[in-house]
Amino acid sequence: MGKNITRKIIEKHLLGGEMTPGSEIDLKIDQTLTQDATGTMAYLQFEAIGLDRVKTDLSVSYVDHNTLQMGFRNPDDHRYLRTVAERYGVVFSPPGTGICHQLHLENFAKPGATLIGSDSHTPTAGGIGSLAMGAGGLSVALAMAGEAYSIPMPKVVKVNLTGRLQGWAAAKDVILHLLGMLTVKGGVGKVFEYGGPGVETLTVPERATITNMGAELGATTSIFPSDEQTKRFMAQMGRPEDFVELLPDADAEYDEIVNIDLSALEPLVAQPHMPDLVVPVRELAGLRIDQCAIGSCTNSSYADLKTTARILEGKRVPASTDLLISPGSKQVVKMLAAENLLEPLLDAGARLLECTCGPCIGMGGSPTSEGVSVRTFNRNFEGRSGTQDAKIYLASPETAARLALDGEFTDPATWGERPERVELPDSVPSIRDLFVFPPKDGSGVEVLRGPNIVALERFEELPQTVEAKVLLKVEDNITTDHILPAGPQITALRSNIPAISEYIFSRVDKEFVGRMKEAGKGVILGGENYGQGSSREHAALGPRHLGVKAVVTKSLARIHRANLINFGILPLLLVNQDDYGKLEQGTGLTIPASKLQPGQPVNMITDSGESIPVTNDLTEKELRIIQSGGLLNAVRDRQS
């Protein structure tokens, strides 16, 4: 049987398990990345393990999420991240240098390498053939400690691309089209591997846009071949030595095949409040637009912003529409400046923001009340923009720039000629000197901690029997933004679990934290795809701190499921989904935790005496982790 790219990389990094879809496998991890919203906790966890140095080939700490330095909390955390990186052998990227995924793609990602990052859009590096996966911060900390990363062996789906993008269609429309086909649950347990003759027509930045938003499918990751396009990109980035050709065998086999004709695609947009509510842009013609935002880790490359500048050149955005632009890195800014491409952006009325995630996670740039915002970002969850009643649409930079000029949705047939597609120049300025590389020996470095940095508590083991009430019942597609909102006020508390826990479900049910504190323990009842979205482990850590013992759902998103396990919260699945309707907030439950077996059902008993069967998809190792009170406890126990 011929091998696909995914199986080749996994086979090379396999430390344990069988490569059968659904079976647990253990992988050696070559690289890790963190960002500041999740990184502080990841490094506190790494310190708790007690090692003197990271054991990966490369680990990088990026500061790109909450760079608003209002008060001491963020500056203190950034100082902690810099000094802890020097102490333990991690490369540090200071605030404002750029967005972690754009920077990693430009400077560090390698074809054929394994990478996990404490950010769900880590699969961006799949654009150059890296097996890159989002993970919780504790999983990243353990990978830095040399521990294997465990996942279910994914199915591999070939996305067979034919044709070539035409007219105003862009790479963003490829992934929007796929989301419209498969939904936000369509990629669970799968890797999307892109192939076919259409692949060679896509540049690495275009490929990275597609792999970045594969996270919205719920996929384990997405990956492109490492081919001539990759070779050219690596040379342009000044690191040709990192190129390795990585192609599927001619007779490679796949678990599924999806066909997409690039020539047939048209400009698309995802409607509020899910990335899979996709329609053609033309269908919304006439809808007024209050704001457009171009950037984020999905669409902030040199090619994206040069195209934007060409569209805006000599024109003016109407005063009724705000236009925000967030470059992905200082390298991108330098390239635009060298070609006098910043001036067209500014003259058009755009606001040029810092090289950070910014408005994508509600860090400034929020729309007006009930405002319509067209964004080139990857998520449009309710309230994520910082304005609870805003209506967020997701589109390509080409579409966002054109709509900004019109101040409303218009039919692409009226847009005229699209600017010529952008290629990277042969000579690209390096910004590698802006990174802080660690000393060979960091033993003498003092790690500086501010008063907002609170050591992680040690959680108790799982009791033999869990007796607790359902203290919150939520619907389908609850995101980690629902569980723990982003934004500057809350994210500034990322290294203080007791403080950040006060905001758990604050935009869903303001009384939840109070009920948890009064009861001391509780269960959350969820619907389908509970926990989709960001990898932020605080959405598991916060509930654990408050006393959540179990989450009972119809189904769980991959990374959040892993985070629940990592912190000792029992993830249970309803055997009969109709039982969801029988359970209400306030229902008392008795869960026989001591009788749990991997993959086997048990009966919960309600306070009225009704028996509700639940099951789990846990492996023996995962069940032991939960019984220990979480992964950190399990590792400590193993090392003692």
What digits encode the pLDDT tens for the residues 257-288? 999 999 999 999 999 999 999 999 999 999 99
Element (H, E) at 373: strand 372-375
pTM > 0.75:
yes
Q: Are strands 291-294 and 221-223 parallel, antiparallel or unpaired?
A: unpaired
DSSP character at residue 554: S
Catalytic residue, chosen from 222, 366, 501, 534, is 534
Q: What is the pLDDT of residues 47-66, one digit of tens each?
A: 988 899 999 999 999 999 88
Catalytic residue, chosen from 87, 121, 177, 379, is 379
Element (H, E) at 100: helix 100-107
Q: What is the pLDDT of residues 380-436, one digit of tens each?
A: 888 888 888 999 999 999 999 999 999 999 999 999 999 998 988 888 999 999 999
275 Cβ neighbours under 8 A, 6+ residues apart: 176, 179, 184, 213, 216, 378, 379, 380, 394
Known catalytic residue: 536?
yes
Beta bridge partners of 604: 612
Catalytic residue, chosen from 65, 73, 177, 560, is 65
Instruction: Tell whether the model's pLDDT for residue 69 goes beyond 80.
Output: no
> Considering the domain 5-264 in this protein, what is its CATH number?
3.30.499.10
Question: What torsion, rounded to 10 degrees, do the Cα atoms 110, 111, 115, 118 define?
Answer: 70
What pLDDT is stored for residue 640 in this prediction?
54
Q: What is the pLDDT of residues 429-467, one digit of tens each?
A: 999 999 999 999 999 999 999 888 887 888 999 999 999
Q: What class has domain 466-639?
A: alpha beta
What pLDDT is stored for residue 545 in this prediction?
95
Instruction: Tell whether the model's pLDDT for residue 504 goes beyond 70.
Output: yes
- Amino acid, single-letter form, for residue 137: G
What is the rounded distance in angstroms from the CA atom of residue 479 to the CA atom of residue 484?
Answer: 9
CA 325 to chain CA centroid, nearest Å: 21
Backbone phi, psi, residue 531, to 5°:
90, 15
Q: What is the average pLDDT across 529-540? A: 88
Residue ranges of the chain that CATH labels 3.30.499.10: 5-264, 268-413
In three-state secondary structure terms, 139 is helix
Q: What is the pLDDT of residues 122-166, one digit of tens each?
A: 999 999 999 999 998 899 999 999 999 999 999 999 999 999 999
Known catalytic residue: 561?
no
Known catalytic residue: 164?
no
487 Cβ neighbours under 8 A, 6+ residues apart: 361, 362, 363, 386
Higher pLDDT, 90 or 120: 90
Known catalytic residue: 65?
yes
What's the mean pLDDT when you consider all of the chain? 94
Catalytic residue, chosen from 82, 177, 494, 536, is 536
- Do the Cβ atoms of 124 and 104 come closer than 8 Å? yes
- Do the Cβ atoms of 239 and 229 come closer than 8 Å? no
What pLDDT is stored for residue 639 in this prediction?
57
Catalytic residue, chosen from 64, 173, 304, 322, is 64
Span 268-413 CATH architecture: 2-Layer Sandwich (3.30)
Catalytic residue, chosen from 30, 77, 119, 290, is 119
Calculate the alpha carbon distances from 557 to 135, 397, 415, 527, 592 in Å: 12, 29, 39, 11, 24
- Among residues of the chain, what percentage have pLDDT more than 90? 83
Question: What torsion, rounded to 10 degrees, do the Cα atoms 301, 225, 178, 23 define?
Answer: -120
Element (H, E) at 309: helix 302-312
93 Cβ neighbours under 8 A, 6+ residues apart: 60, 61, 62, 63, 64, 100, 103, 434, 435, 436
- Do the Cβ atoms of 53 and 80 come closer than 8 Å? no
187 Cβ neighbours under 8 A, 6+ residues apart: 157, 214, 217, 218, 219, 220
Known catalytic residue: 64?
yes
Instruction: Tell whether the model's pLDDT for residue 96 goes beyond 80.
Output: yes
Instruction: Tell whether the model's pLDDT for residue 70 goes beyond 80.
Output: no
What pLDDT is stored for residue 1 in this prediction?
76
| Sign of the C-alpha dihedral computed for residues 279, 386, 304 and 339 taken in this order | positive
Backbone angle region of 385, left / alpha / beta, with phi > 0 → left and psi within -120 to 50 → alpha: alpha
Residue ranges of the chain that CATH labels 3.20.19.10: 466-639
